[in-house]
Amino acid sequence: MTANSKSRLLHSLLLIAATVTSTVTALKTGIHKHETLDTWFLVTEQSSYVIGATTEGYIANLHWGNRLERLDDLNATMDDTFFIQNPPPTYVTEELPVFGGLRYRDNVLKVELPDGVRELNLLYSGNANITDGYMLDLDLRDGNRTDVLVTLHYEIDIDNDIIRRSYTIRNGLDKRINVSKAFSAAWHLPTALGSDEKREIMTLAGEWASEAMVESTELRPGVTHVIQSQRGFPSHVSYPYFAIRQVPSDVNPSTEVYFGALAWSGSWEITAHTSLFGTTRVVGGMHHQDFGWTLEPNESFTTPVFAAGFTNKGMPGARKLLPRHVRKYQKKNLETQKDDSVYHPVLYNSWEAMTCVFDFTIDKQLELAEIAAPLGIELFVVDDGWFGARDNDSAGLGDWYPSKKKFPNGVKPLSDRVHEYEARNQLVLNLGMPEVQDYLYETMSTFIAENNVDYIKWDMNRPWAEMSMHNYDRNPREAAVLSVEGFYSIIDRLKVKFPKLWVESCASGGGRMDIGVLEKTDQVWTSDNTRPDARILIQYGASLFLPPRLQYSWVTESPYDSNIDIPLSFRFHVAFQGGLGVGSNIEKYTEDQLEETTGWISLYKKIRPVIQNGDIDWLVQPSRLSELVAVSQTTSRDQSEAVVLGFRHNSPFSTPLNWIRLRNLDKSAIYTVKVWGGDPHKAEDEYELSGALLMHRGILLNTLNNAMFKSVVVWLRRKD
Ligand SMILES: *[C@@H]1O[C@H](CO)[C@@H](O)[C@H](O)[C@H]1NC(C)=O
Ligand SMILES: *[C@@H]1O[C@H](CO)[C@@H](O)[C@H](O)[C@H]1NC(C)=O
Ligand SMILES: *[C@@H]1O[C@H](CO)[C@@H](O)[C@H](O)[C@H]1NC(C)=O
Ligand SMILES: *[C@@H]1O[C@H](CO)[C@@H](O)[C@H](O)[C@H]1NC(C)=O
Ligand SMILES: *[C@@H]1O[C@H](CO)[C@@H](O)[C@H](O)[C@H]1NC(C)=O
Ligand SMILES: *[C@@H]1O[C@H](CO)[C@@H](O)[C@H](O)[C@H]1NC(C)=O
C-alpha cells in the first residue's frame, strides 16, 4: 500500500469529514447535540469526546482528545469507497462493537438468542436523552430483532476530563436470552501526534506484598496487550488501569495521555489493540471467562462503569485527574466523606503487636489502647482474631460474633474504654467471604450497634473457586457477578443504616481497590508489606488512581525488615504520603521512641490538610532497579501549601542529590520553607523563598547524603 493510499484510507476510516460553514457555535462544557445531525459533543474543561450516528446507524467515535471549538467541525458522513477488503463495521470506530456481522475486531457484547443465533447488529434507534447537561443516553436496537435493546450511558466529569461509560441491555423478546460477554465500553484512540510516533502503555503489575508496580511497554501495530484478573476480585496481580502516552521525540513534544480504570470489584479484563494505522482500541469490563447472565423477558442488565480520560499534561496530569475524580465520586456517594475538613484519622492497628494474633485477650487490647491514646492515635483497630473460633489460622474465618473466650463480657468494655479518650476511637471487623448476605448484614448490624463500632476493615483473602457450587436457582454462570453485587449491597445497606460508619477495603493487602469499591468505602489498605522502601514503590503506583487520603500506610517493625535498621523517622515519612497508621508493638517502645512517635503524629496532624486534600506529584520517581531515591510533592489546590517528602535509601558515592525543582506553586508568592529530618521536635532548617525560585532553581535536600535511609519532610506555606 502506498503512503498516499494509506492516508486516504485512514482519512475515511476515521469517518471524519470537515465542513466549511459560516455558523460558528462556540462549544461550552457539557453535553450538546448538533442541531440537525445525530452528533453529540461531550465537552470537559480540557477535552472533547464526539460521537455520531453514521447513515447506516452505527454509533461511531469521531474524536477523543483536545477540546474542540465548534459543533460544526465534525459529522459522521460515511464514505465506504475504500472498504473493499474491510467491510464497514470492522473499521468503524464503533462505541459498542458487538459480536456479529462483519466485525472482526475486539468486541464488547455477545448474546445467545432463543433460536440459536448469537449475532447482533445494534444500530441507533433515534432516541437520545441528555440529562442535566452531563449525562447522555443513546438507544440502540438490533437491526433484525428490534426487541433486543441497548442503552449506552455516558456521564462526564467536567472538571476532571473524564467520561464514565456503561450500558444496559434489555430483553424485549418473550423468551429468555443469555448474555455471554458484557464488557463495559470500547475506547478509540486516534493516531499519535506525528502519526507514526511511538506510544507506550502503562499498567500496574503486582503480587501479594508488592502491589501496583508501574510497568510500561511500547504499543506495536498488530499487537494486543491484555491485562486481567480471573480471581473473583480485582487482585494484586494486575490492576484494572491503563494509561497510554505518547513518547516525546525530537519533533513531537506531545504529552498527550489517555487513561482509564474499571469500577468493578470482580474478575476483569482490559485489552488494547493497535492497528497498522497507529490507532488503538481499548475494550474492557467484567471478565467473560465463565461469565453468563440470563435475561428473562423484560429483564435488563447494566454493566459496571469504565471511566477514562484525556490530558495533554503528561502523566502528572493523569495522576491528578483520576484521583480527583475518585475523590469527587466518593464525596458524592458517602455521608462520611462529604466534608473535606473531616480528615482521615491516625489509627493504631494491634495486629502486628500480637506475638500470636490468635492468642490475644481483651486485657492485652486494653493495655495497647492505653498506650496508644496519649500518642495522639485517633482510631483503635482490632484486626483478625477477635471473632468466633478464630484460635488459629485454620479456624473461625467467617464467624460473625466475638469470641467468648477472648471477650468474656463482649467487645463493649473495650469499645467503652477507647471511646472515653477525647479522640474518635474505633474497632474493626475483619471478614472472610460472605455466604449469606442477609445473615451477614444482620450479624454485622447487631454487632456494630451493640458495640458502638465506628469503623470496619473488610478483608477478603481467598480467591474464588468452584463458583457453580453456589446454590442459585439461576444460571450458574452468574455466580461470580452476584457475589460482587452481594458484597456491594451489604456495604450499601450498612452505610444506609450507619451513615457515620467508616469502612476500609482490603483483600490480603491491595487486592480490592478498584475505583468501584472506592465509591463505597472510605479508605483502602494498599499492601500487607509495610517495609517503607517497598511501600514507596507501592504508593508511587497506587498514586495513579488513589487520592492520598484513601491510601493508608502504617509505621511498623514489619516482618519484612527485621534485619535492617530503618529509622523511625523514615518509616513515618513514608506513611506521611497518605492516611497515617501505626502498627508497631508500642508496648516495647522506649520512652524516646514513644516521644518521637508523639512528635511525628503531632506534625502529621499539622500537615494533614495538605496531604489529605492535595494532589500528589513525584519530583523524583522511585525505581526498583537503582539506588532508591524518591521525592514527592503534595500541593493544596489553591497553591497555598505544599509538603515535600524526600527519601534516600543509600548513596554509595556519597554524592549529594541534585537540586529538586518544585512544581505547581504560586510564582510571585513568598513561601516559608521548614525542613525536618530525624527529629520531629526540632526543624533542621527554615528559610523563605519565592515560588519562582523554588520552581525554577529548586531546593537542595542536602541531608540526604551518604547515610542509609535518610528522609526529610519539607513544609512550604505561602506568606500572606
Ligand atoms: C458532512 O460532511 C460531508 C463531507 O464533508 C459534507 O458533504 C456534508 O455536507 C456534511 N453534512 C452536514 C450536514 O454538515
Ligand atoms: C442460557 O443458559 C442456560 C444455562 O446455561 C441454558 O440452560 C439455556 O439453554 C441458555 N439459553 C439460551 C437461549 O442460550
Ligand atoms: C432521560 O434520562 C433521565 C435520567 O436517566 C430519565 O429520568 C428520563 O426519564 C429520561 N427521559 C427519556 C425521555 O427517556
Ligand atoms: C437482517 O438479516 C439479514 C439476513 O440475515 C441481513 O442480510 C441484514 O443485513 C440484516 N439487517 C440488519 C439491519 O442487520
Ligand atoms: C413486558 O413488558 C411489556 C410492557 O411493559 C408488557 O406488555 C409485557 O406483557 C411484558 N412481558 C412479559 C413477558 O412480562
Ligand atoms: C484450630 O482451632 C480449632 C478451634 O478452636 C480447633 O478445633 C483445631 O483443632 C485447631 N487446629 C489446630 C491445627 O490447632
Tens of pLDDT along 9-20?
A: 443 444 344 343
Cβ(121) – ligand 4 distance below 6 Å: yes
Q: Which of 38, 72, 157, 528 is catalytic?
A: 528
**What's the full length of the chain, in residues?**
720
Nearest to 299 by CA among 403, 176, 182: 176
What integer pLDDT is reported at residue 423 of this predicted model?
39
Share of the chain above pLDDT 90, in %: 62
In the residue annotation, 80 being an active-site residue is answered as no
Number of other CB atoms surrounding residue 659 within 10 Å: 10
Kindly report which listed range (152-161, 316-325, 347-356, 459-468) carries the lowest average pLDDT score: 459-468
What integer pLDDT is reported at residue 656 of this predicted model?
81
Nearest to 30 by CA among 167, 130, 174: 130
Is it the case that residue 411 has pLDDT exceeding 70? no
Instruction: Using the CB atoms, write b or e for 102-125: b if 16+ within 10 Å.
Output: ebebbbbbbbebeeeeeebbbbbb
Cβ(19) – ligand 1 distance below 6 Å: yes
Mean pLDDT, residues 702-711 taken together: 85
What is each CA distance from 446 to 119, 314, 443, 486, in whole angstroms? 49, 49, 5, 19
Kindly report which listed range (230-244, 257-271, 353-367) carries the lowest average pLDDT score: 353-367
How high is the mean pLDDT of the chain?
A: 86
* Three-class secondary structure of residue 680 per DSSP: coil
Contact 134, 156 (CB under 8 A): yes
* Three-class secondary structure of residue 193 per DSSP: coil
Looking at residue 303, the DSSP 8-state letter turns out to be P
- Copy the grid coordinates of residue 564: 535492617
Share of the chain above pLDDT 70, in %: 83
For 507-521, the pLDDT digits (tens) are 888 889 999 999 999
For the CA of 176, the nearest ligand: 2
What integer pLDDT is reported at residue 439 of this predicted model?
78
Is it the case that residue 1 has pLDDT exceeding 50? no
Kindly report which listed range (13-17, 281-285, 484-488, 590-594) carries the lowest average pLDDT score: 13-17
pLDDT classification of 223: cutoffs 50, 70, 90: very high
DSSP codes, 472-488: -SS-GGGHHHHHHHHHH
In the residue annotation, 459 being an active-site residue is answered as yes
**How many angstroms separate the CA atoms of 274 and 255, rounded?**
19
Is it the case that residue 171 has pLDDT exceeding 90? yes
Cβ(137) – ligand 3 distance below 6 Å: yes
For 536-550, the pLDDT digits (tens) are 999 999 999 999 999
Q: Which amino acid is at 675?
A: V
Nearest to 521 by CA among 533, 508, 507: 507
- Cα of 178 vs centre of ligand 2, distance in Å, is 6
For 81-137, the pLDDT digits (tens) are 445 566 677 778 999 999 998 888 899 999 999 999 999 999 999 999 999 999 999
Contact 678, 685 (CB under 8 A): no
For 18-49, the pLDDT digits (tens) are 343 445 557 899 999 999 999 999 999 999 99
Cβ(34) – ligand 1 distance below 6 Å: no
For the CA of 299, the nearest ligand: 5
- Cα of 214 vs centre of ligand 6, distance in Å, is 41
What is each CA distance from 668 to 610, 665, 691, 693, in whole angstroms? 20, 9, 6, 9
> Which has more confidence, 298 or 382?
298
Q: Binding site: what residues are annotated?
A: 208, 383-384, 424, 457-461, 506, 528
Q: Which of 38, 161, 459, 514 is catalytic?
A: 459
Looking from the CA of residue 392, the nearest atom of ligand 6 is: 1
- Copy the grid coordinates of residue 66: 483536545
Hey, whose CA ends up nearest to atom 2 of ligand 4? 144
- Cα of 129 vs centre of ligand 3, distance in Å, is 6
Mean pLDDT, residues 309-338 taken together: 97
Q: Binding site for substrate: what residues are annotated?
A: 208, 383-384, 424, 457-461, 506, 528
What integer pLDDT is reported at residue 474 of this predicted model?
75
